[in-house]
Amino acid sequence: MRVLVVNAGSSSLKLRLLGGDDRVEESADLPAGPAGFDTSRLAQILNGWAAPDVAGHRVVHGGMTFTGPVLVNDAVRQQLADLTDLAPLHQPKSLAGLDAVTARLSGVPAVASFDTAFHTTIPPAAATYAVPREWQERYAIRRYGFHGLSHAYCSARAAQMLGRPLAGLRIVTCHLGAGASLAAVLEGRSVDTTMGFTPLEGLVMATRSGTVDPGLVLWLEEHEHISPHEVATALEQRSGLTALAGTGDMREIEAAAARGDPDSRLAIDVYIHRLAGGVAAMSAAAGGLDVLAFTGGVGENSALVRERAAQRLAFLGVAIDADRDGGHDGGAAVADRDITAAGAAVTTLVIAAREDLQIAREARRLLGAPSRQSPR
């Protein structure tokens, strides 16, 4: 079954056409302007590709309504729109991509896969905030978590690389990119994650602050006389690594730190401190740690981040082999690799982020099509 994977982001519409063997047959990124996506360009792209059997769409928020992939019809489309209040920055973009592609693929079924669905298995103790009950009930306040498609794929791929079933494995997956989050995966099920009611909670990210004292937010609103919207914009777009080092690009920060820039060195220290503490917390949620898996742009490409994190996590049995972490085979980069040092109690892996494969697998499974047994 040929699957068109659609990922609508803040600045582009990413399209990937996967064949039945999961090979990428076609790929395109369509920029999004103030008026949305260029529908004529979208039509031109899709008209030049082989016809897909199904379109699989990444949707950021499914609330607690959607705990797995769903075939989109008018009723489902309305339910997705009704969830916009929970993800006002992301849900409209997901829906715009869904509508634009559906309008040009008449008769092709559309399947929505959700970033939140993998985390709907988190137990109440981890999902519940200690806030007034009326808030919880009125606004469905709980830890939703995000990046679930990436965490689901990464944990399944880790088990495959080890030749072991997910049952019995305690895995912490580290999705480290412009957005970043961790997940504790126990026997294939998410039992905790660092992002919460919104994607702002948790780790330090490229432009997001990660977790801050809520009292700080209240203090700023009172003393700086700034609106909640201004605070939210600052925490979402002007914080994180950008606030600490002047850029959210870890490659630039590492280069500047190597030249002795104190702000960049501090930014890395803060990033690693929050990352190591998060991994330790996720390990506690999983009841221990068998596998530590790095994925995402920073997770895959920053040997410094992996090395520094491993040093801080040595007490858990994490240790990596610098030679294996080089990730080269005859001069060509090896995407997925085991970088564990000899004798280490915890297996450490580097795994390429492939949400597209996870979305395609979910679409095929929902439609009852034969699917490869592995996540690759």
Cross-strand bridge partners of residue 15: 6, 28
* 348 sits in which H/E element: strand 347-350
Contacts of 239 (CB under 8 A, 6+ apart): 207, 208, 209
Tokens of 194: 């660092």
Q: Which of 29, 38, 115, 321 is catalytic?
A: 115
Distance between CA 373 and CA 352 in Å, rounded?
18
Contacts of 104 (CB under 8 A, 6+ apart): 39, 42, 43, 46
Distance between CA 62 and CA 248 in Å, rounded?
28
Active site residue 115: yes
Cα dihedral 258→338→317→346 (10° resolution): 150
Residue type, 112: A
Distance between CA 259 and CA 196 in Å, rounded?
36
> Cα separations (Å) of 167 from 31, 79, 124, 160, 348?
41, 34, 22, 12, 18
Distance between CA 185 and CA 67 in Å, rounded?
16
Positions annotated as catalytic residues are 115
